[in-house]
Amino acid sequence: MLITYRILTILLWPWIFVFSLLIPGAKNFLKTRKEDKRKILSYPFAPKAQKVVWLHAASVGELDQCKAVALVYKKKEPETFILQSVFSDSVRDSSLEAFPADLKFRLPLDFPWSYDFILDKFSPQVLICMAWDRWPNLLLAAKRRRIQTILASAVITVPKGFLKRKFYKAAFSLFDKILTSHSSGEEKFKELLGEKKNIKTLGDSRFDSVIQKIETSQREFKRPKNYPFSQVFLLASTYEPCEKLLLPLLQEPSLKNTSFWIFPHKTDPTRITQLESEIKSFTSDYTLYSRTEFNSISSRVILFDVLGILAHAYRAADFAYIGGALHNRVHNVLEPAYFGLPLLSGPRITHAPEAIELNHRGGLFIIRTKEEVLEILQLSSERKEAIRFSNRQFVETGRGAAERIYSEIVSHAETQRRRGF
């Protein structure tokens, strides 16, 4: 299966080159990676002068997982040189530049020859991927150089179909060790790879990133002074399907004392203008966050059109809807869970073990209709308090995952060294 994959990637290269000439998005994608390659090659680095660790994240969520582990390395081994790569263009350049690593870059496309210039120059001792990310040519290149390969905070969706299962098995078998985020993931990986595979549950390092982000922030976020609504329903990372379901609730008489704070997934001017029009079709009592001093707002609907506020705004809410799962997949549920909020989400949560666990505990509700949302927003104070305790406790159980992952990696490396590998 891996040989087939390598052959297919080689055959695919000419077509990608053609697409890059015809499609602007593909051209920019490759251009960024060419620029990063020049940056890497020109970077002043003495080979084998210090220990090197390579962390890789697929997207924004996985970058949070990497951050927690990187901070542990910086604390325990300040002299260790850290490489951080990402793949998705959803990771903003500013987020990547602010990451606590020595060198940050976009991962090349997964061709057999793509990584030699990185591995030859830096000779990392360990390559750590997060969650579900597995690039066979990258892992094969690392193994040829006897680099320790780790999948941390690991999750897996059980593959359906013979070929997909065979590919998953071949790709995930390339990791020396798989450190799962939850015990259910450990069971699924062992079912796929066999009981002898080195698999252990140590938790999800994203918990540490979320906790650290909230607890070290100096920012206080409170409701506007003399705010006239007794209950705040916060809508996080919303898309059009989310708003189509939830905005009609503005006309429900039973929710007249409930305000709606809306944080759309995208905040570009076109999207905000479109969303303003949708809100106006249900109510004129709304305010755009950037246009008014927040503490003076008295509107029932507040549309937040700036970034960097959401994680703090949960502190002032009573309920939180987490977007994405009506049409694709749920976004981050850990931040609102930290504040103990009852959570609402669409049904597509299978990729997120933390959302599944919160649902099993009764703190996250799957909703598909207005009626289901109404029922949840009218929970008794006793039920809300029980959920607050349960959700907060769940987040606490994940504290320290990054430290555990670090210790396991160091221990494994020491064991391999003693064995002469």
Alpha-carbon gap, residue 374 to 252, rounded angstroms: 9
Q: How far is CA 287 from CA 130, 299, 314, in A?
A: 39, 6, 18
Range list of β-strands (E), 202-272: 231-238, 258-264
C-beta separation of 271 from 365 below 8 A:
no
The one-letter amino acid code at 129 reads C
The token pair at 87 is 């793949």
**Could you say which of 62, 335, 354, 357 is catalytic?**
62
Alpha-carbon gap, residue 99 to 80, rounded angstroms: 15
Q: How far is CA 307 from CA 92, 202, 264, 270, in A?
A: 12, 32, 10, 16
357 as an active site residue: the answer is: no
C-beta separation of 85 from 56 below 8 A:
yes
Alpha-carbon gap, residue 351 to 83, rounded angstroms: 27
Listed residue (162, 161, 163, 153) closest to 189, CA to CA: 153
Helix/strand/coil for 365: strand
Catalytic (active-site) positions = 62
